[in-house]
A and B are shown apart, each in its own frame.
Chain A
Amino acid sequence: MRVLKIVLRNALRHKLRTALTIVGIATAVMAFGMIRTVVTAWNAGVTASATNRMITRHRVSIIFPVPLTDRMQISRVPSVVGVSWANWFGGVYGDPNDFKNFWPRFAVDASTYFTLYPEFQVPPDQLQAFQKERNACIVGRKLAREHGFKLGDVISMEGDIYPGPWQFVVRGIYTGRDPSVDETQMFFHWEYLYEQVKQREPGRGVDAGFYILKIDPPSAMATVAATVDSAFTNSSAPTKTESEREFQQGFVSMSSAIITSLKVISLVIVGILLLVLANTIVMAARERTREYAVLKTLGFQGRHIAAFIIGESLLIGLIGGLIGLALTFPVVHGFGMALPGFFPVIRVEPLTIVLALGAAVFAALVAGALPTLRVVRTSIVNGLRMIG
């Protein structure tokens, strides 16, 4: 108890210096937490991928469609227990320069899509209403909240991949089964897309953008991929079948250089944190070398001195770390609000909390260890000669 009291009073000797150090640590921890959260959010799609779903797409690129007729052949492959399909729609809603107006829009097979995605939870009556109405759509809860969409509202947008004005009636609002589920997407009938394109652009075909396969057992994924892809090897649209995780990872890997840079920056921040704290603790320990020599004269040993110095370092590090962590939450929230389309699932994960605080504690231990070693190694006689 007395040690804590001494540690606290020592930390408060130079209030301005301690306060500035705490602010420095808090800023570094907040930046670390923020970057970690962004990296996690970037990988959210991969993390949320189901272990029993696969994606079949055109081998060359996702932008090339795959024939709708393929679904019959795919559904006959052993271990494939469900098949659905979807198309990336694109479109422009409102001001295209406003990030808020960008969200994922998919044309999906209304009768099968939601059975393959149980994580998108739609109330049964709303799902029924959606399935009955050709130009109906279902939007995510977060998206609806963001734009004030309610059941019965009409969402108007301008098509880009599929040009012309488009209107969709909101008939359902889905909620995520857990916080990792993206609630910013919009789904409408693939049949509506197909019919409209036929009317507007006679001669333009509309096929499936990609297929979603439900696999049982999941261990059969490799066999399913080989079987499906070999079936279409010599067709006009050769396919690539991969697990949903691999499919999502493919998108993320496009920006792997950015993610790696962010990870490196987060490590640099830990280094900055360490230097900020080490600077303060080294200064404080140097100023008190004589006092520590007096304590040693009284019979205090190296471990006691270590408790005083490392205790002070830990105290400052933890206060800074906790303040930084507390600030991370509103900053992340604000970031998510500003860029909802880029980070549909952005939240401070428990691992980020542990790592941010762990970084502060690690920096405090290292920052305290060096001056402790120096003070412990300084002889009492030399220590007493020091002028703080």
Chain B
Amino acid sequence: MTGPLIQIRNVSKSYRRDSMSIPVLQRISLDVPEGEFIALMGPSGSGKTTLLNLIAGIDRPNEGSITVDGTEVTKLGESELAKWRARHIGFVFQFYNLIPVLTAYENVELPLLLTPLSKAERKQHVTTALGLVGLADRLHHYPRQLSGGQEQRVAIARAIAPDPTILVADEPTGDLDRQSAEEVLTLLDRLNKEFKKTVVMVTHDPHAAQRARTVRHLEKGELQ
């Protein structure tokens, strides 16, 4: 592939609150090359999470286009977009968002249920992903039986299990203590360096941002 993996062109996004339109992003343009580890920083309300959601295809811009790996995601229909997310995006949330009634193994297996993989192949993917995040011995633990750091690592395993093109992480260390945060950042760093995953991370923590290769600042909906 030639050119950047993620190509954002003149993207604007605003939300409606009652009858008011609140602009969040204003004519943003950004290129993210393949294999990049980029951190988006900025104060609350600067639009960094909105930009991340647009890149991940869970929200749509009002204007502009977003092209990922040659696909203009802003033109995809709902069903196609869902399939595209399943194939290309691994999402890591601030609050882990694991399904509480499923074990670590079953949570990681969830996105694989949308693939044509056999049960044995799914098992291999799940155990590999959980092994990679250092939780091979926690396969059958429920989220309530894990610490916050372990839950976030399960969430990362869930994100990487289908081998996505891009890993997007929204404040992945925001709810963790210093040590757990370090472990998670090391893991993201490793996924980027060893496994060549493109990582887009939103954070307001300068320490976390230091782990990224590129840091971009957002201020009032504009890239600085």
List chain A positions with a Cβ less than 8 A from chain B.
2, 5-6, 9-10, 12-13, 290-291, 294-302, 379-381, 384
Contact = CB atoms under 8 A, between A and B. Distances in A.
Nearest to A3: B113
Interface stretch (B4-12, B63-71, B80-88, B190-198): B80-88
A116 B195 CA distance: 91
Interface stretch (B53-61, B132-140, B145-153, B216-224): B53-61
Contacts, number: 58
A281 to B, nearest CB: 16
B101 A6 contact: yes
Contact of B99 (A294, A296, A380, A381): A294
Contacts of A384: 58, 93, 97
Main secondary structure of the interface of B (DSSP, over half): helix
A365 B163 CA distance: 37
Interface of B: 53, 56, 58-59, 78-79, 82-83, 85-87, 89, 91, 93, 97, 99-102, 106, 109-111, 113-114, 158
- Sorted nearest first, the 7 A-B pairs with minimum C-beta distance are A299-B86, A9-B101, A380-B58, A294-B97, A298-B111, A301-B82, A299-B85
14 contacts: A13-B100, A13-B101, A294-B93, A295-B99, A296-B58, A297-B91, A298-B86, A298-B158, A299-B82, A300-B114, A301-B79, A379-B59, A381-B59, A384-B93
Of listed A13, A294, A299, residue having the most chain B CB within 10 A: A299
Contacts of A5: 106
A1 B209 CA distance: 42
B49 to A, nearest CB: 9
Contacts of A380: 53, 58-59
Nearest to B85: A299
Given A9-B102, A295-B110, A381 B53 contact: yes
Contacts of B59: 379-381
Contacts of B97: 290-291, 294, 384
Contacts of B99: 6, 291, 294-295
A227 B102 CA distance: 79
